[in-house]
Amino acid sequence: MLTKKELKLLTEVLNLEGVKVSDKHQHKGIGIILKIESVAKESICNICGAKSDRLHLLGATHAPPLSAWLHPQNHQQIIKDLDWGEQAVFLETNRRQFKCEKCKKPFSEELEFVKERRKYTKRLAAKTIEEVLADDIRSVAKKGRVTEKEIERMLKDASKDLSKVKPIGLKRLGIDEIALIKGQGKYCAVLMEKNGLMGY
């Protein structure tokens, strides 16, 4: 059992806004698994946009057998994060279910550090894309942190995000391409501005 001081230190080392580490497990051959919890008491409904602090209770819609059976409904998820040195790091989280007080619909809380329906953090995706720009998908995937399919998904997500950004004050534009997988004729265009990456 970890002390409060150790959990606080792990939370600081993890450095993800809005979450705290509540437990840690080391698994040989797998890596470090950090159990994390959201520190927010409320979430924004993705249906109507209203804030809600009301947790969706499993069993609340059924005839009341015993109130003791009522418990918050969560979706457990394991998310890949950046390695700590040579150790792979996985985040175990229970994405809480809220019930909107305005539209009365249940919804899952949004976790700022991970895109919806993804099993890796945004910062792992950004780091992986940097590595792919310097190499290629297959070589990066061989490191074992993420699969080729996950890398392709990361590139597509980044492309969608960057296509929404309009360049302001653009003076110079560099255009290049990278091989998604060397020798297979699949390429990705890379647009660079003076200050860094602009789009794919």
Q: What is the pLDDT of residues 17-36, one digit of tens each?
A: 999 999 999 999 899 999 99
Position 196 scores a pLDDT of 52
Between 169 and 116, name the one with better pLDDT.
Answer: 116
- Residue of 153 and 162 predicted with greater confidence: 153
Percent of the chain with pLDDT over 90: 48
pLDDT tens digits for range 80-119: 999 999 999 999 998 888 889 899 998 888 889 999 889 9
pLDDT of residue 74: 64
- What mean pLDDT do residues 41-59 have? 84
Indicate the average pLDDT of the chain: 84
Per residue in 166-199, is it b (16+ CB within 10 Å) or e — as a string? eeeeeeeeeeeebbbbeeeeeebebeeeeeeebb
Q: What is the pTM of this model?
A: 0.76
The dihedral formed by the CA atoms of 134, 137, 141 and 142, expressed in degrees to the nearest 10: -80
Query: Worst-scoring range by mean pLDDT, 32-41, 120-129, 173-182, 190-199?
Result: 190-199
Question: φ and ψ at 46, to 5 degrees?
Answer: -80, 0
66, two tokens: 């015993």
- pLDDT higher than threshold 60 for residue 65: no
Q: Higher-confidence residue: 167 or 71?
A: 167
